[in-house]
Structures are given as C-alpha cells and as structure tokens.
Amino acid sequence: MSEAEKAGLVSRRLGSGTFVGTAPQTSGSLLDFMDGLSPLDLIDARAAVEPFTARLAAEHADARTIEDLEGVLECAATTDDQDDFAKWDGEFHLLLAQASANPFLIHVFRQINHVRLNAQWGAMKANILTAEAIAEYNRQHRAVLDAIEARDPSLAQKRMTAHLECARNDPMKVLNP
C-alpha cells in the first residue's frame, strides 16, 4: 500500500481509510495549479461563491467588520492607482468572507487573493483597471456594503452578482475587442 500511495494510485487518511485515485495535491503542486488559472477561471469561480458569501455577510457581519469594510472602501475611493486599488479590492472581498462567519469561505478567499497575484492577472489588470473602472467598482462595492448594513441578504447577494458580472465582462472586452 505504501508503494501505491507513493505512486499516487491511492491516498490514505488516518481514521478514514484508503481511497483509490490520485493522492491529494501537495502544497507545491497546488501553488502551480493556482498560478496557472486564468483571470476568467478566477472570476467564474468567484461568481459561484461570492454572491452567497455576501448574503451570509448581511446575516452575520458584526459592527467591527462593517467598520473595517467602511475603512477599506474609503481607502479604495482615494486611489486610481491599479496596484493600490487591487490591494483594497482584495481586502474588501476577504473582509466580506470574514463577515460571513464561515471559516471555509475565509480560506477560499485567501486562496483567491493568492491567485490574483499571478502574472496573468497582473497583465490583465493593466488593461482593465482604468480610473473609470475603478470608480465603477467602488460604486458597486458601496452598493454591496449598503445592503449588508441594511441587513438585506437577498439584496447583498443580488448586488454582488451584478458586480461580478461587470468584473467578468471587463476582461472579456480586453480578450475580444
């Protein structure tokens, strides 16, 4: 069994058993995988997760997290620098995950922010994050936070969906002019 495990044919988990199939990815191969994701792969994954995360944030956000989100939006609103905005944007979305009170979603968003550091996103960011786009994203973030502050889970989810549709359309315009 040890040889089969080394070859990646089975995986063994203490207390759970032995499973046929590939062994779990090592952290190095996971990093390689994440670095290979395209910006569209990332935004599609975000669209599958973030609207419900915003819903949970509207249900669970505490006053401190809402205050932190307000501070992030203030910082994001004062810049049209692509790198600064990307930093504040990542922080805003991670804080939303923290507001959801779901540890797994928090972990997922940390991984999302890691992927956003890859070279493909950096190249795409240069073409997408114009001053106008940054201003629009800031308006959309504000709308999401307003719904969270109003404790309206449905509206928070709807506004996040709209935000991510916009965020998906922008790279599509660059890729298919």
CATH superfamily of 25-175: GntR ligand-binding domain-like (1.20.120.530)
Quickly state the pLDDT bin for 152 (edges 50, 70, 90). Answer: very high
% pLDDT > 70, the chain: 75
Contact 159, 140 (CB under 8 A): yes
Percentage of residues of the chain with pLDDT beyond 90: 51
- Residues 1-33: tens digit of each pLDDT: 677 666 666 666 666 666 665 444 444 555 566
H or E stretch at 10: strand 10-13
Q: How high does pLDDT run on average in the chain?
A: 84
DSSP helix/strand/coil, 61: coil
Nearest by Cα to 160 from 177, 148, 169? 148
Distance CA 140, CA 152 (A): 16
- For 170, the token pair is 């922008």
Would you kindly state where each structural domain of the chain is located, as residue ranges? 25-175
- Who has greater pLDDT, 42 or 29? 42
- Per-residue pLDDT at 21: 55
Residues listed for the chain: 177
Closest CA to 158 of 7, 121, 150, 34: 150
Under a CB-based contact definition with an 8 Å cutoff, are residues 157 and 51 in contact? yes
Q: What is the mean pLDDT of residues 101-128?
A: 81
What is the sign, positive or negative, of the torsion defined by CA atoms of 69, 85, 169, 119?
A: negative
